[in-house]
Amino acid sequence: MNYDAIHEGIFRARPNRFIAHVEINGRIERCHVKNTGRCRELLVPGAKVYLHQPRALPASQRATKYDLTAVWKGEQLINMDSQAPNKVFAEYMRSGRYREDITLIKPETKYGGSRFDFYVETGKSKIFIEVKGVTLEENGVALFPDAPTERGVKHLNDLAQCIHDGYKAQVVFIIQMKGISHFKPNNRTHAAFGEALAKAAAEGVAVLALDCAVTPHSLTIGDPVPVEI
């Protein structure tokens, strides 16, 4: 996926989870943060960030002029747009890189008590897929979640129920950066999510982690990353 109008800035403060104060050309702008996670290791004062200026709505109809989409963490550029993982995974599926026998891709499909990101059909399978964006990295290891997520636990439990009901199911972790050795659940932050992931995997839910090539103007799925549960 591509961003059409990108500006460079310096992060200064985050007064709440939706708003960042960013310096652009010597002026402080209020920007929308497209990620409600903690992101404490990313949004530090002085960090270089990239801002997307959406053109879908006139500026007069927006509370903020810019969306914060990417940040430099040392020499690593990380996309932190929480809407991007679903978009790039849809592109990945349509490209045939996910699998070549897809006959149907249906976003936002409800089953049981959850609304999953995708329902996919192939010649032989019916698959429910939940996509999770990953922005937390420690020493080359990608971790999810960066904050407790009861909703994430519920998604995993409901994916396991899909398996019991005769469907296939998969959780896909889109790592919004390169330079990752492997992925694992962040048990230190939310042990219940790690336990639910291990249980779901044991019951047949497939677990896939994919890294991404990141530029200020784009995000593209790259390669599979080993998963350690």
For residue 222, give the H/E element and its range. strand 218-224
In three-state secondary structure terms, 200 is helix
**Phi, psi dihedral angles at 153 (to 5 degrees):** -60, -45
| Arithmetic mean of pLDDT, 89-104 | 96
pLDDT one-digit tens code per residue, 158-180 = 999 999 999 999 999 999 999 99
Q: How far is CA 211 from CA 43, 46, 150, 193, 197, in A?
A: 21, 26, 24, 21, 19
* Whether pLDDT at 35 is above 60: yes
Which of the four pLDDT bands, split at 50, 70 and 90, describes residue 113? confident
Start-to-end CA distance of the chain, whole Å, equals 29
Average pLDDT, the chain: 95
Q: What is the pLDDT of residue 112?
A: 86
pLDDT one-digit tens code per residue, 58-80 = 555 668 999 999 999 999 999 99
Q: What is the pLDDT of residue 56?
A: 63
Q: Kindly report the CA angle at 175 between 144 and 66, in degrees rounded to 5? A: 100
How much of the chain, in percent, has pLDDT values that exceed 70?
A: 97
**25-39, 122-136, 171-185: lowest mean pLDDT where?**
25-39
* pTM for this predicted structure: 0.94
* Whether pLDDT at 206 is above 70: yes
Q: What is the pLDDT of residue 59?
A: 56
* Whether pLDDT at 216 is above 70: yes
Q: What is the pLDDT of residue 57?
A: 57
Distance CA 196, CA 167 (A): 19
